[in-house]
Amino acid sequence: MFAIFSRTYRKLQAYWRGDQGALLCSECFQDHGLRMMARDFHGKRIRCSRCGATSTHGLTREQLRDLCQTFFVRGSIMAADYGASPLIQFNDMRENELDVEGAINVDIALLHRVVGLGFFHYGPRLWMVGAVEPLRKLRTRRGRQPTINRILRTYPVREITPREIFYRVRKAPAEPSDAAQYDAPPGEFSGSGRLDSPGNSILYGSQDIEICVHECRFSAGDDLYVATLAPTRTLRLVDLTEILEEEGTEFDSLDLAVLMLFLAGSHAYEITRELAASARAKGFDGLIYPSYFSMLRTGGMPFETMFGISLRRMHQTRGYEKAKVIGNLALFGHPVADGMLRVVGINRLVISRVSYGTTFGPVMTPDQS
Ligand SMILES: [Zn+2]
């Protein structure tokens, strides 16, 4: 009887103090980055029963899990040649197996003791780091063309009508007011980008101006101009940003192979250039493809999983995954000179504010990763 009374009394006391549910506060943490991120959670003013600090940053169990997801999982993502994977994972069923250097070790022990979270080195599912069969085929001489044909057969065609507009940004063009300056570069300059090759010039554009700026690595202080472009007829583009509904596992997924191809660095260009040339040969006007900077712009995490299954493959999470990817446009040839596009307007483009979202993560020494 007394035990029940004293438990109720403690709960009431916690309620009066305003810290119901808060297990730890930001000041409980030793690691500077983790403490700073915990301060992003705001609540009532409490006196922390753990460290004694007076704080408005008490964190509930749920909030502590969110904090750990951002700091440890997202903060330990490493890109492979294709794909990417976190080096750390945690759950409340595992013992704590993570032994890292420094103050964070004390915090890991505290999170284990109080919240019951066990942290461990994550051995990724191999598909997450590029072991996807269509991707393997694309990387071989014999497998490439049949797989490219399969991609062009499988992905939907999207029509862009003359009512739609998009943008192309250029740095210091010779004649800023001349529409021809915003066409694809002359043939002799083709062959250095993701999709263009000698003999296959490409005009790159986007419906998102910020993506144009990111893709071309422009920065504040650059003398930039933007052309607003519109098609003169309906264009037929292969839409590679679509999420495919597929049978089979992640290891057989054409959908993941294509996404990984476009989120990879310049080592993938050899493949993407052949893909573009084949699409052109088949009579398409161009491609819509996932922007390399999609994840930065949308704040999304690449290749997220739930119980080891890619969220791209679950019906319920498909919309969420689709929203992470921004499409860029690649139009074949010299669409302005060829009369496929008209220049609606030309303006100077000023980068007035640059803003990056940042979060912290743990330091992993090479032998831990
Ligand atoms: Zn505290």
In this model, does residue 15 exceed pLDDT 60? no
pLDDT in tens, 108-166: 999 999 999 999 998 888 988 899 999 999 999 999 999 999 999 999 999 999 999 99
**Distance between Cα 24 and ligand 1 center (Å):** 5
Rg of the chain over all Cα atoms, to the nearest angstrom: 25
- Mean pLDDT score across all residues of the chain: 88
User: In whole angstroms, what is the distance from residue 124 CA to residue 85 CA?
Assistant: 6
In contact, 213 and 351? CB cutoff 8 Å: yes
**Distance between Cα 27 and ligand 1 center (Å):** 5
Domain locations in the chain as residue ranges: 2-124, 129-349
In this model, does residue 308 exceed pLDDT 70? no
In contact, 79 and 69? CB cutoff 8 Å: no
Kind of pairing between the strands at 286-290 and 235-239: parallel
**Distance between Cα 54 and ligand 1 center (Å):** 8
Burial classification of residue 264, based on how many CB atoms lie within 10 Å of its CB (0-12 exposed, 13-18 middle, 19 or more buried):
buried
pLDDT in tens, 256-295: 999 999 989 899 999 999 999 999 999 999 999 988 776 6
Q: How many CB atoms lie within 10 A of CB 315?
A: 7
**Distance between Cα 184 and ligand 1 center (Å):** 58
Residue type, 19: D
**Distance between Cα 25 and ligand 1 center (Å):** 4
**Distance between Cα 363 and ligand 1 center (Å):** 23
In contact, 235 and 340? CB cutoff 8 Å: yes
User: In whole angstroms, what is the distance from residue 132 CA to residue 134 CA?
Assistant: 6
Token couple for 334: 């010299």
Nearest CA to 218 among 290, 166, 169? Answer: 169
**Distance between Cα 29 and ligand 1 center (Å):** 7
**Distance between Cα 96 and ligand 1 center (Å):** 21
